[in-house]
Structure 1
Amino acid sequence: MAWLAVKARSIVINGRFLKDTNSAVNAVALNLTKALITSADENGWKVHLAVPKPLENRAMQLSRSVIAMGQSTGAVWDQVYMPKLREVGVPVGLFNSVPLRGSGYVTMLHDAHVFRTPQSYRFPARKWRQLTSRRAGASGNRILTVSEHSKQALLALGIGHADTIGVVPNGPSTVVSTKPDTAVLKRLELATGAPFCLGFSSLLPHKNVAFLIDVFRDQRLADIPLVLVGNATSKDFERIGLTVPSDVIFAGRCPDAELAALYQAAQTVLIPSLEEGFGLPALEAMYFGKHPIVSPYGALPEVVGKAGYVVHDMRPSDWARYIAKICTGHVTARDCPRQQASRFTWNAAAQRVWEHLEGWGF
C-alpha cells in the first residue's frame, strides 16, 4: 500500500465522525478537521483522513488524501484500523474515541461529563466512555480538550498530566454565518420588537433546564417569553413532574437559519448548566452581539469573560432579577460580546493543535 510510505510530519484524523455530523461533538470534529486541512501546508504538516469505506465519498469532499479501510462504521472500526495507521502518521481522534491497543494517539476529550455527571449517560455508554477516557490519558498518549476547565477536570480525575493535555477552544457552528429566517418568529407567535429569551431544551440533568423553567414562574418575567430550542418538549417535562408556565415556548429542533433568527432577535441567551466542557451557545450568542446569562459552572465563565453575566447564586429569583434587568435595559456596561467571541475561531483552534503537536515532539 503506497500510503504506508508517508510518516514524517503527518497526522491521520479518524474521520468516522462523518457518519453523523449533527451531534455537537461530531460537528466540532468536522469544523476542526476542515481548519487543520486548510492550514496544514503552511505549518509544515500533511493531513490524511481515515474512514470506513462507506464514508469514502464524504471524506473525498473534505480531503485529497483519504485512506478508506473496512466496512464497519461503528466504534469497532477505531479499535481495528486506527492502530494500523500509526505507520502513516500521528493518529488523531477528535470525538472522544481512542484505540485501547498501543500508544502514540492524540485524542480530543471534549469534557469530563461522563465522570462528573454520570447520570446523564446510559450504563453501557458511560462505562465505555470512562474506559476510553482513561485510555486517552495513558502513557505515550496525548489529550486535546476544549477549555482550561475541562483540562483541570481531567487532571483532577487522574487522566493525563499537565504537560500531556493541550487546550484547543472551539470555534462557532455554521449558524453564525447563516442567513436568518425570520419566519420562525411568526411561527412561534413572538411579537415584533418585544423582548424574549432564548434557551436550549434538554432532559439531560446537567443541562439544568428544569431550573430555567422554574425561573420563568417569577412574576417579574410575566411578559417575557422563554423560547427553548431542542428535542425535549413540554410533555417531556410534564412527565417528570414539572408544570410548564404558559410563557415557555418549545420551538423544537430548528435549522440553522431559524436558530440564527432567534439568536438575532432574542434579548439574551440563558445557559444554567451545572457542567459544560465549553458552552457553544454562549459563544454563538456573543457572535450575534448578545450578552449571555450563564451559571458559574464548567467553562461558561471562561468562555463569556466579561461579555456575559455570570449568576453565582443559583436561585430562580436571582436569575429572574438578572433577566428582568437585561430585558428592560437596566444593566451595567459589559465588554463587547462580538469582541470576546472573535477570540474563538476554527483557524485559531487549528493553530493551537499544531502548536501542541510541535510541543509534544511529534
Structure 2
Amino acid sequence: MTASKIYVNGKFLGAGLNGVHRTAAHFSDALLRQGGGQTEIELLAPRPFSPDPAFPRLVPRVVQGRLGPGQGWEMLTLPRAARDGLLVNFCNLAPLLHPRSVVMIHDVQTYLYPEDYTGRQAVAYRMLLPWIGRRAVRVLTVSDFSRKMLAKYGIAPEAKIDVVHNGTDHILDVAPDPSILARHGLTRGRYVMTLGSAKGYKNIRRVFDAMREPLAEELPLVVAGGPPATAYEARGWTPPAGTVFTGFVSDAELRSLYAGASLFAFPSLTEGFGLPPVEAMHCDTPVVAADAGAMPEVCTDGAILVDPADTRAWRAALQAICDQPDLSADLISKGKARAEQLTWASAGARVWSCLQPLL
C-alpha cells in the first residue's frame, strides 16, 4: 500500500524548541524545502502555534482532540487525522494505530544509560519503542551507530532502518552575541569550552579531571549551559578551580562561545549523533571528542578522538592543541571541511530519498 500525501507529526510545535524538538523542526523544514514542490506535505499540530521566525515554513493545521495535546493526541487523534497519507514522525515516538508511519528514533540512551532518565520515562520508552519499530513501515535514525544499536535492542532490524545524518549548519543562521564573553570575563582564544550536563553518560567529569591541574597556558574551563556547579558537586564531580558556569545561553551566545574558545571538549560516553562537536567545527574551533558512540562517524578526521575513560589521554590531547598551533590549524581546516558536508539541505534530500519509495 502506498500513499500520495505526507503528514508530519507536529506535536513538538508550540512545546518549546529544544533538543529533539529543535531537530524535528529542522528536519520538517528541510523536508518541506526538498519535497514540498513534488507532493503535498502537511504538518498537523495539537495546539495553536505562532510560527517561529526561524522556521517560517512550519505552519501547521491544528487538529484538536478530546484527549488534549499529549500522548492521547499522538496515539489516537493524530492517526485519524492522517489516515489517508504517509505519517512522518521525527521525535522518537509514533502512533501505533497508523498503518503507514515512518518514525525517526535518534538513539537508545534509555537502554544504554537508564539511570540518567526518570524511571517512568525509561520504562515508557523501552516498552513503546519495539512496538513502534515493528509497526512503522520504515525507521529513520541519525547515524550508523544508532542503526546498529536499534537492531541490537530489538527495536527494528537493520534492513528496515535508513540513516539520515543531522544537519549542523543552523549554528551559522544566527548572528553571534559576543557580550557573553565580557559578561563572564572571558578573553577570545583563552579558554577551553565544554557543554554542561549532569547526566552520567555525558561524562563531563572526564574534562574536570583532565583539567584538575592547570594547562600550561592556564586556560580556564567554561561550561556552557546546563546546571550550576552544585549539581556536579552533588554527584561527587569537582570542577577545576576557576571554572566558569554560564547557565542558560541563547543560540547567539552559544555561537560566540564556540568561536571564542581555544578548543572544544566533548567527552560523552555515547551519542546517537552528537551535534555540538560539529557546531564547534562550523565556528572554526578545534575539537577533542570521545572515541565512542557516533562521534567517530560524525567527526571523522575533523577532531582528535580520545578514549572517554582515559583522563591522561584527555589531558594530553587538550595540551597538544594548546602547544601546537599547526595542529590546531589543521584541526580547524579538517573540521570545517567535515562540517560543510553535514547541512540541513543534504539532510532534507536524504529524508526525501527515503520517503519517495513509499509514495
Same fold (TM over 0.5): yes
- Report the residue type matching 2:123 in the other structure: K
Deviation, structure 1 residue 206: 0.7
**97, 100, 104: which is aligned to 2:96?**
100
1:131 partnered with 2:127: yes
In the aligned structure 1, how far is the partner of 2:125 from the partner of 2:202?
Answer: 19
| Alignment of structure 1 residues 267-282 onto 2, 5 Å | 267-282=262-277
1:171 partnered with 2:164: no
Q: Which residue of 1 aligns with 2:45?
A: 51
**12, 20, 32: which is aligned to 2:7?**
12
Structure 1's 48 and 198: CA in aligned 2 closer, same or farther, altered over 3 A? same
Percent of counterpart pairs with the same letter? 28
Q: Which residue of 1 aligns with 2:228?
A: 233
| Alignment of structure 1 residues 1-362 onto 2, 5 Å | 8-42=3-37, 44-52=38-46, 54-58=47-51, 62-63=57-58, 66-70=61-65, 72-172=68-168, 174-191=170-187, 193-220=188-215, 223-312=218-307, 314-329=309-324, 332=327, 333-334=330-331, 336-359=334-357, 361-362=358-359
Conservation of the 8 A alpha-carbon contact between 1:221 and 1:320:
no
Conservation of the 8 A alpha-carbon contact between 1:48 and 1:63:
no
Conservation of the 8 A alpha-carbon contact between 1:78 and 1:99:
yes
**Which stretches in structure 1 are left out of the alignment for 5+ residues?**
1-6
In the aligned structure 1, how far is the partner of 2:260 from the partner of 2:174?
Answer: 14
May I ask how many residue pairs the two structures share in their alignment? 352
Please give the per-residue CA displacement for 1:117-169, whole angstroms capped at 9, x wherever unaligned.
Answer: 11111111111111221122105532111111111111111221222111111
The residue matched to 2:103 in structure 1 has which SS? strand
In the aligned structure 2, how far is the partner of 1:273 from the partner of 1:140?
Answer: 30
Please give the per-residue CA displacement for 1:185-238, whole angstroms capped at 9, x wherever unaligned.
Answer: 1111113x4521110110111101122211110343571111111221111112
Structure 1's 313 and 49: CA in aligned 2 closer, same or farther, altered over 3 A? closer
Deviation, structure 1 residue 84: 1.2
Q: Which residue of 2 aligns with 1:3?
A: none
Structure 1's 26 and 227: CA in aligned 2 closer, same or farther, altered over 3 A? same
Deviation, structure 1 residue 14: 0.7
In the aligned structure 2, how far is the partner of 1:258 from the partner of 1:336?
Answer: 24
**Which stretches in structure 2 are left out of the alignment for 5+ residues?**
none
The residue matched to 2:244 in structure 1 has which SS? strand
Residues 335-344 or 134-143, more deviating: 134-143
Root-mean-square deviation (CA), in Å?
2.2
- Report the residue type matching 1:227 in the other structure: V
Structure 1's 27 and 341: CA in aligned 2 closer, same or farther, altered over 3 A? same
- Report the residue type matching 1:345 in the other structure: T
Structure 1's 108 and 250: CA in aligned 2 closer, same or farther, altered over 3 A? same
In the aligned structure 2, how far is the partner of 1:154 from the partner of 1:65?
Answer: 30
- Report the residue type matching 1:301 in the other structure: P
Conservation of the 8 A alpha-carbon contact between 1:27 and 1:173:
no
